[in-house]
Structure 1
Amino acid sequence: MSGSAPRNGGDLVTETLTALGAGVVFGIPGQHALGLFDALRRAPQLRFVSSRVENNAAFAADGRARLTGEVTPLLVSTGPGALLTLASLQESKAASAPVLVISSQVPRAGLGGGRRGFLHELPEQSTSFANVTKSAYTVRHASQIPSALTEAWRTAASAPSGPVLVEIPQDVLLEATVVPPVVDVDPEPEPLAPRAEVVAEAARLLDGARRPAVLAGGGVSRAGGQAALLELAEALRAPVATTFGGKDAFPWEHPLSLRSWIEDRHNTDHLERADVLLVVGSGLGELSSNYHTLEPSGRVVQIEADLGKLESNLPGLGVHGDAALTLEALARQVERRPEDPAVVAEVAGVRARIADRIAAQDLETEQGVLASVREALPDGAASFWDMTVLAYWAWSAWDPREGQAHSAQGSGGLGYGFPAALGAATTGRGPVLAVSGDGGAMYSIAELATAHQHGADVTWLIVDDGGYGILREYMEGAFGEATHTELSRPDFVALAESFGVPAVATTVDRVGEDLAAELARPGPSVVVLPMHVNLFAPTHLDG
């Protein structure tokens, strides 16, 4: 710190974040948080990425957290700024993204509300976050900052990971401190190891199964359990289906891969016929259970880090533990079986029946567009999908290859794809693809300024079908016609260019070529595809 100016609470925040291993922080300045943002000026080792709206800053932090698996700080101001993050944090909580929210608060004299009438004052700001964070901490003295942030960091990182709030009053951020520079902090959470006797029982059940199968969720990906799952599945010769959130949990082209057509009745039927179904890293929610139509005929073994999700939807043997640690323990204990061509043939048959069912629906254009997008994106690149019809296709049909695919299906809010991709781009791992519909794009259109300001290497595909395409599909299916789903839109190409972001209008025939060209160009770009995307038939209703 230059000169003789005293360090303050804001400096303790930046020092603690640095000591914990943070390198990039997201957010938007605000009046009560100015002491914290001034401290960033004295912390060049922390890269600050500013957004234009707080909910998009939270999505950006979520995107980086998902791609890296690391706790990612988000800095926001009191009241309106903090509250604007709530919808985004609902997504982070549902998807177990470790976002550390650091919000300012009114001065300590106003904590509890109703006394001073401070600007942005809320009676109990932290209670607004109760449903969308794992926990919340309120700091009242500067000396509490290092310990509070460290505990919050470890909580966010602990399985199941998720967002955590730390709120710090304005005067605490500004007050001088005699606390020495922060160095000695431990960011590592306690591992969530499963109990040995429960793992032994799970291994016994799996060894005794004639037709074992696996449903792998996002918990496998978040825990880094892909290698252990592959080893276990090959030992058991068990087919593996993945949820939408766990698309990279198992190799797409593996002979035992059922892929992620989990809404398809053929896939559901196959899982139901297993005499032992191993569910790992999934709470078997609405989508993962094919709208709660999954009714296994055999035993269920569920590995889950979130204690509240164990047996919450299906009874079975609940194994409370980190997915990777538990899969590794099971892989060591189960007996390895000889290769079984009949199992491989059965998996291939399920995949063929799904392909035939989709092929019978006259959806070649939709499948062709998704294939073109897949070929345009480099194999190791990440993609982030908004709630749009093409994303619904991607949930089931997208091969992530060596990259990652993330979407907002945790809570289903609009506007996720582009700001999350901007956050992911801060890793410098190469180009990132964002996909939105025109309706969802308008939620985050202001972040074109963020993309230009920070030179984010993100290509944004906007599929313009004239409105809220998913809602249109649902309403037409349920009521025969749609109401209030059609939208007036801007000229997205001209709008992007007004922000200094290159943009191109494309067609169904050229989308792959145009996307590939923009992805190869460093920096932000926009590709606009006017297209009405049809959705495949509701698969959970098939006989």
Structure 2
Amino acid sequence: MNDAATGHMTDFDPGAPAPTKDTMQRNGGDLVVETLTALGAKTVFGIPGQHALGLFDALSRSPLHFVSSRVENNSAFAADGYSRATGEVGVLFLSTGPGALTALAGLQEAYATGVPMIVVASQIPLEGLGARRKGMLHQLDDQKASAANVTKSQRLIQHASGIPSAIQDAWTEAVSSPQGPVWVEVPQNVLLDPIFVPAVEDALAEPFDNPPRVELVREAVKWLTDAKRPAIVAGGGTRRGRAEASLLSIAEKLNAPVVCTPGGNGSFPWNHELSLQSWMEDRYVTEVLEDADVLVVVGSSLGEVSSNYFTMEPRGRIIQIDAEPRVLESNRPALGIRADAGQALSALDEALDASLSADADWHGSTPQAVVAETLAKVQARLDEQDLTLERKFMADIREAVPADMQTFWDMTISAYWGWSCWDSRDGEFHSAQGAGGLGYGFPAAIGGALGLQSQGKPARVLAVAGDGSSMYSISELATAKQHNAPVTWLIVDDGGYGILREYMVGAFGKATHTELARPDFVKLAEAFGVPARRVAPEEVGDALRAGFAADGPNVVVVDVLLKMFGPTHLDI
């Protein structure tokens, strides 16, 4: 019989055949996948689990494509990469307890970087929540509390009838700036019990409007109108807010040099005469930003990397634009404008006079001359540091990668170089600099490639990792093979945690426990049925081009010890 208070069927026989839409005795799992489908989801990442079986059974009756990773953390990275590559919301299904907890490090990256995701985690049955007396498998005292540090919000759904609205609200929150992952929990019995809730036919989730306050825009325009040496830092929020066109217009109106953070890479033309590119960790670039009389910071906290490790000391005023209120003035006093970067820069662009560019004066030099001189100093400093191998290696990769290819970078020395020197051209640059966890590159690339493939776009992507970080996600070779993901994985093998080795030698004169025993990556990849080859550093370009021309996943391994550049010419 039906319990009117809950909308569930009572006396449910767990051994009975799964209800189908034909019998109209659907379950809560059907409501989850129907709502996600109605909201526009196409792909789901995750791993099945005991309490989540209702979700996965419902997938068999839905058009959603499921990608099963081998570790939940990698599922989170894959959903993250899918979202970044496609501009769509990533969807992640998690099982209870260990499965949910294992995904948290991946969600930290999405949360730190503002990647919109819906995370649907199963739970033990309602009757066991908050009670240790049941001693249920996978049980946690408060599972959603575990996700509180790495998701925008957390919801527990206790009745099937509440599933569509809860997921629609979660989707709205995920896509509203500041974007990020949202956690939804559904207990096992809510997923499994038959229901009479009608099938979900449509769902709408529009992002909340987040425009800048009028008086703040007016004040910012005053500052910029009076400025002689304006400069701009373009962070990841610039890309998330799709503010590239407004940024270009404002920079040209102000005659303002622009530098992109790693997250903002690609938001400003690399070879523009006002582009300081992405040399955020270079002291010469830091000096330009310090000398600006008005520094506009868009979608960045001026945190560790974007302040050159907190060495930057701006002498002028700062205008900081960010959708996350906790970021504003968190590191520097500023005129804080809480707004979506796209809406804020559009408002500034409309209000600024196009004739302002004539007023720029950098101590008798033009901004264009300052930019050219600064970049020349950067290159001259690199020339002095015996970095021929590293610079050629990065240049060879850049030359081999097609202009429109998206790239995914793990936390490795190559990525640290990429943060500063990678021209993303018509593609996109994605790295794990938000939270800095290892293992991001390959699973994120799998998600990105499969997402682009579903959109009918050029799907081949590049993943770059070190030998240490590769071991975090090596099991995903099976995922890549199973789904024939068009990913070329470049593994830079230097025998250990290279960047940590360098940090320790620099700090203590020696490295401790950074050296690693590792597998033969070529043989290991081949054991998964994935083609692989090992090449010398000077052969990396040709090897990548061959990988890009192939079908499905492939691996290129390079044995090379790379060094980081010294970012400064001063003792600071």
Stretch moving more, 176-185 or 276-285: 176-185
Equivalent in the alignment of 1:344: 368
DSSP 3-state at the match of 1:393: helix
Q: What aligned pairs does 1:231-270 form with structure 2 within 5 A after superposition?
A: 231-270=249-288
1:84-124 Cα offsets, whole Å, 9 max, x none, are 00111111111111121100000000111313111100010
Q: CA deviation at 1:67?
A: 1.7
Stretch moving more, 333-342 or 404-413: 333-342
Instruction: Give 2:471's match in structure 1, choosing from 442, 460, 471.
Output: 442
Equivalent in the alignment of 1:480: 509
Native 8 Å contact 1:276 1:301 kept in 2: yes
The question of 1:495 aligning with 2:513 is answered: no
Stretch moving more, 179-188 or 439-448: 179-188
Native 8 Å contact 2:231 2:256 kept in 1: yes
Higher radius of gyration, 1 or 2 = 2
Instruction: Give 1:357's match in structure 2, choosing from 367, 371, 381.
Output: 381
Instruction: Give 2:339's match in structure 1, choosing from 315, 321, 327.
Output: 321
Instruction: Measure, in 2, the Cα distance between the counterparts of 1:435 and 1:47.
Output: 26
Instruction: Measure, in 2, the Cα distance between the counterparts of 1:478 and 1:299.
Output: 34
The question of 1:416 aligning with 2:467 is answered: no
Native 8 Å contact 1:256 1:347 kept in 2: yes
Native 8 Å contact 1:475 1:481 kept in 2: yes
Equivalent in the alignment of 1:535: 564
Instruction: Measure, in 2, the Cα distance between the counterparts of 1:539 and 1:125.
Output: 46
Instruction: Give 2:30's match in structure 1, choosing from 8, 11, 19.
Output: 11
Instruction: Give 2:322's match in structure 1, choosing from 292, 300, 304.
Output: 304
Instruction: Measure, in 1, the Cα distance between the counterparts of 2:247 and 2:446.
Output: 31
Native 8 Å contact 1:71 1:157 kept in 2: yes
Q: CA deviation at 1:184?
A: 3.4
DSSP 3-state at the match of 2:337: strand
Instruction: Measure, in 2, the Cα distance between the counterparts of 1:463 and 1:285.
Output: 28
Instruction: Measure, in 1, the Cα distance between the counterparts of 2:273 and 2:211.
Output: 30
Q: CA deviation at 1:410?
A: 0.8
Q: TM-score, length-normalised on structure 1?
A: 0.98
Native 8 Å contact 2:490 2:557 kept in 1: yes
Instruction: Measure, in 2, the Cα distance between the counterparts of 1:540 and 1:449.
Output: 46
Equivalent in the alignment of 2:138: 120
Native 8 Å contact 1:504 1:528 kept in 2: yes
Instruction: Give 2:498's match in structure 1, choosing from 469, 493, 496.
Output: 469
Q: Write the letter of the residue equivalent to 1:309.
A: V
The 1:221–1:8 alpha-carbon spacing in structure 2 relative to 1, beyond 3 Å, is same
Native 8 Å contact 2:97 2:140 kept in 1: yes
Q: CA deviation at 1:163?
A: 0.9
Stretch moving more, 463-472 or 339-348: 339-348
Q: CA deviation at 1:333?
A: 0.6
Equivalent in the alignment of 1:58: 76
DSSP 3-state at the match of 1:318: strand
Structure 2, gaps ≥5 residues long: 1-19
DSSP 3-state at the match of 1:167: strand
1:247-300 Cα offsets, whole Å, 9 max, x none, are 011010100001111111110100111111000110111111111112111110
Equivalent in the alignment of 1:86: 104
The question of 1:377 aligning with 2:385 is answered: no
Q: What aligned pairs does 1:61-460 form with structure 2 within 5 A after superposition?
A: 61-337=79-355, 338=357, 342-426=366-450, 427-428=452-453, 429=457, 430-460=459-489
Native 8 Å contact 1:493 1:528 kept in 2: yes
The question of 1:36 aligning with 2:65 is answered: no
Q: CA deviation at 1:525?
A: 0.3
Instruction: Measure, in 2, the Cα distance between the counterparts of 1:163 and 1:322.
Output: 17
Q: CA deviation at 1:542?
A: 4.9
Instruction: Measure, in 2, the Cα distance between the counterparts of 1:447 and 1:353.
Output: 42
Native 8 Å contact 2:283 2:567 kept in 1: no
1:333-386 Cα offsets, whole Å, 9 max, x none, are 111135678221111001100111111100011010101111111111111111
The 1:523–1:541 alpha-carbon spacing in structure 2 relative to 1, beyond 3 Å, is farther
Q: Write the letter of the residue equivalent to 1:380.
A: D
DSSP 3-state at the match of 2:132: coil
Q: Write the letter of the residue equivalent to 2:419.
A: W
Equivalent in the alignment of 2:542: 513
1:40-88 Cα offsets, whole Å, 9 max, x none, are 0000x21111100000000000111112232211001000000000111
Instruction: Give 2:533's match in structure 1, choosing from 501, 504, 513.
Output: 504
Native 8 Å contact 1:113 1:121 kept in 2: no
Q: Write the letter of the residue equivalent to 1:376.
A: A
Q: CA deviation at 1:540?
A: 8.5
1:408-443 Cα offsets, whole Å, 9 max, x none, are 111111100000000001121321000000000000
Q: CA deviation at 1:2?
A: 5.5
Native 8 Å contact 1:204 1:334 kept in 2: no
DSSP 3-state at the match of 1:539: coil
DSSP 3-state at the match of 2:120: strand
Instruction: Measure, in 2, the Cα distance between the counterparts of 1:509 and 1:459.
Output: 18
DSSP 3-state at the match of 1:535: coil
Instruction: Give 2:44's match in structure 1, choosing from 25, 48, 52.
Output: 25
DSSP 3-state at the match of 1:256: coil
Q: CA deviation at 1:520?
A: 1.7
Instruction: Measure, in 1, the Cα distance between the counterparts of 2:240 and 2:492.
Output: 29
Aligned residues: 542
Instruction: Measure, in 2, the Cα distance between the counterparts of 1:70 and 1:95.
Output: 15
Q: TM-score, length-normalised on structure 2?
A: 0.93
Native 8 Å contact 1:290 1:540 kept in 2: no
Instruction: Measure, in 1, the Cα distance between the counterparts of 2:22 and 2:308.
Output: 63
